[in-house]
Amino acid sequence: MNTISPEMESLKTRLKAMWMTGDFGQVAKHIETGAEEFIDRLALKPGVRLLDVACGSGNLAIPAARLGAIVTGVDIATNLLEQARARAESEGLTIQFDEGDAENLPYADAAFETVVSMFGAMFAPRPELVAAELVRVCRPGGRIALANWTPDGFIGQMFKISGKYVPPPPTMPSPVKWGDEETVRERLHDGIAGLQLTRRLCPFKYPFPPAGVVESFRTYYGPTQRAFDALDADGQAALRNDLARLWAEHNQATDDTTLVAGEYLEVIATRN
């Protein structure tokens, strides 16, 4: 059993509350295409047992189940699990969604042939425990497939801007370290027979201009909402301007919409 200090327990409670703030399901809708492409590349066979760690509203779980995988999703945010269950039911898919922690997964050793996480497990505060759990629940010869934002990519830059105004907890490693190749090799070493790392792009598509995207993130994305809430009026205005400038500089759309490509590191690890 993983031991936890009072300070870490407090941090994890705050993190859970943050991810249940706003409505991440609204954010997830704009990256569904990238999630479907991620699942398609895995070429899942019908009947494969798959675990989606930090599954959110089901962006990976849903397309995996469509392909015939036997899917379980796990997340700390109960409101997102409710959304995921509703999505599965609306499509007539049978998926088990459980409340649980990526650092202490509620499953037996070697229970799954494929373990996936897209922009999810990377946000747990103790990455060494996450890595050990991903390996533990994956059967020998199985795969662990992760999508992690890179430090220098668009979302990494967005986090850097927010961190300039509201520094992250000092006891928590940066989540985007999971998008650094050397760090991933260090974390996914024990129990891993092979590691394939590929930089890919995930499109963010919005039917409104960059300033509107910032307001959408402020409304629906817990980390951004919490950053704004921690600032006074002047700080909020400055943060809004910096984020809008970032979205505008990277916007590939030429009309009043927004299309930005976020770089992530695709990690495919084979369990030995």
Segment 219-268, tens digit of pLDDT: 999 999 999 999 999 999 999 999 999 999 999 999 999 999 999 999 99
Q: What local confidence, expressed as pLDDT, does residue 2 receive?
A: 58
On the question of pLDDT at 53 being above 80, the answer is yes
220 lies in a domain? Answer: no
Distance CA 208, CA 116 (A): 31
Is 234 part of a structural domain of the chain? no
- Residue 77, domain member (yes or no): yes
Whether residue 82 lies inside any domain: the answer is yes
Measured from the Cβ of residue 140, the count of other Cβ atoms closer than 10 Å reads 11
CATH code at position 22: 3.40.50.150
pLDDT at position 3 is 75
Q: Number of structural domains, the chain?
A: 1
Residue 158 corresponds to which amino acid?
A: M
Q: What does the pLDDT look like over 167-226, one tens digit per residue?
A: 998 889 999 999 999 999 999 999 999 999 999 999 999 999 999 999 999 999 999 999
Lookup: tokens for 208 = 């409104």
Positive or negative torsion for Cα 74, 75, 78, 83: negative
Which structural domain, as residue segments, surrounds residue 181? 8-151+168-202+263-271
**97-110 average pLDDT score:** 98
> Does residue 103 belong to any structural domain of this protein?
yes
Hey, which bits of the chain come out as E strands?
49-53, 70-75, 96-99, 112-118, 138-149, 192-206, 258-271
Asked whether residue 80 is assigned to any structural domain, the reply reads yes
Whole-model pTM over 0.85: yes
Domain contains 256: no
Which pLDDT score is estimated for 236? 98
